[in-house]
Structure formats: C-alpha cells, structure tokens
Amino acid sequence: MTPPDLAPRFRFFADLQVEVGPPQDAGRTPRGQRRLVPITGGSAQGDGWRARVLPGGADFQLIVSDRLAELDARYVLETDGGDFIYVQNHALRSGPAEAMARLAAGQPVDPAEIYFRCCPRFETASPTLGWTAERMFIGSGVRRPEQVLMRFFELL
C-alpha cells in the first residue's frame, strides 16, 4: 500500500520579474538554433524577503524546433539584506509554431498559447537562505517582449 503523503505538494517561494535585452543569435548548430538573451535587471519577492536581479546574467537558449525551446538562464539575485543568490533555471517553452515565431520576434503572445515551465536551482553563502540549495523548486513563466515573469514554488 502506498502512503498517502507521497503526492507532491508545493509552497510559494518567489515571484520574479526579469528584465531582458535583445537576443543575440549565435546561429544554427547541429543541435538547433542557439540564442543568448542578456539579463539586464529586475526584481524578486518572496515571503518576507525582496531582491533585485543583478545585470550580467543571460538565458542560453536552444531552439530545438519551431515548437520547442530549451532554456538555461543563469543570474544573481541580491537581497535587501545584502545576500547573494546564484540562480540556474532550466526551462521548456513550447507552443504552436506561429506563436513561438511571434515570441522570437519580440511580439506579445497570449500566455495561454505557450507552455513555459522551469526548474530553478539556488546557491548562496547566506546562512538564512542556505536551505534553498537543499530543496527542489519548480515554476512557471510568461515571456513578455522585454521581461520574463516567473513564479517559483518549493517542492515539499
């Protein structure tokens, strides 16, 4: 008999608003189209904490097909308390080819047309936030022309 407490549960961790610059196209490789999207700033807010997204990160993208993109974003948050959190966020973004093309062209797309799910990981030297490296997180996102909105949840 399977114990009833094995079903996954989630707890809100943070909302992020990540500002991005124009994509840099690195060309088609044998694995797909490579793009790099600079991360220029933004903010994060969790339960009892706030942070800013430091400029200098990037989202390394592999456009696998006209319907699927694999994302690998890496950036740093600085909390209001002066702690730093390194974020590496793996994501999948998929949808109808025409919606994905509009998204790639920097045009607004209804979030209901796009599947955008992610698995962020955190590293920090902060004693109060160190627990984040010992947990798994999931999230969902929305791509806007100049920003990415995401909500992260701790997997309990």
Segments making up each domain of the chain, as ranges:
15-155
CA angle 74, 42, 71 (to 5 degrees): 30
Q: Which residues of the chain have pLDDT under 70?
A: 1-3
DSSP-assigned beta bridge partners for residue 49: 46
- Calculate ∠ Cα 18-75-131, nearest 5°: 105
Residue type for position 138: I
Residues 143 and 109 sit within 8 Å (Cβ to Cβ): yes
| 15-155 carries CATH number 2.40.160.20 | yes
What distance, in Å, lies between the first and last C-alpha atoms of the chain? 21
pTM across the whole model: 0.92
Specify the pLDDT at position 18.
98
pLDDT at 152: 98
pLDDT digits (tens, 9 = 90+) for 64-85: 999 999 999 999 999 999 999 9
* Longest Cα separation, the chain: 53
